[in-house]
Amino acid sequence: MSNRDELIAAITEWTAHAVQAEIDRSGMTKVAVSDETGIPYPTLNRKLAAKTEFSFRELLLLAEALNVEPSTFTPPAFERHRTEVQLEHRPAA
């Protein structure tokens, strides 16, 4: 496995654990989360087991259902100083 593949696997696993932790913290069942988000239960289970990656859309739906900020599911490997990102993505005047 290449370093890149290892990084992707680690990010997938980190995200799955973060989502599971928020589900546990919320007191919701996985069935309730599946119903609330529209993510099919087997798909949710597969992604929580880190067998496949969550999409951005799914992470947004999960954040809304679990009443957390979407950034809760942002792996540390993706974090940068927010001001740098805001400056880079500011529309041209």
Per-residue model confidence as pLDDT tens digits over 39-76? 999 999 999 999 999 999 999 999 999 999 999 998 88
- Tell me the C-alpha distance between 52 and 32, whole Å: 21
Task: Read off the tokens for 31.
Answer: 């069935």
Q: Which residue has the higher pLDDT, 2 or 26?
A: 26
- Kind and range of the H or E element at 4? helix 3-26
Residue 11, exposed/middle/buried by CB under 10 A (0-12, 13-18, 19+)? middle
User: Using an 8 Å Cβ cutoff, are 75 and 15 in contact?
Assistant: yes
Quote the number of domains for the chain: 1
pTM higher than 0.95 = no
Check which CATH number belongs to the domain holding 64 and give it. 1.10.260.40
User: What is the structure's pLDDT at 92?
Assistant: 57
Record the tokens describing residue 47, joined without a space. Answer: 């992604």
In a domain, 45, yes or no: yes
Please indicate, yes or no, if residue 93 is contained in any of the structural domains: no
pLDDT by residue (tens digit) across 5-31? Answer: 998 999 999 999 999 999 999 999 999
Domain annotation covers residue 26: yes
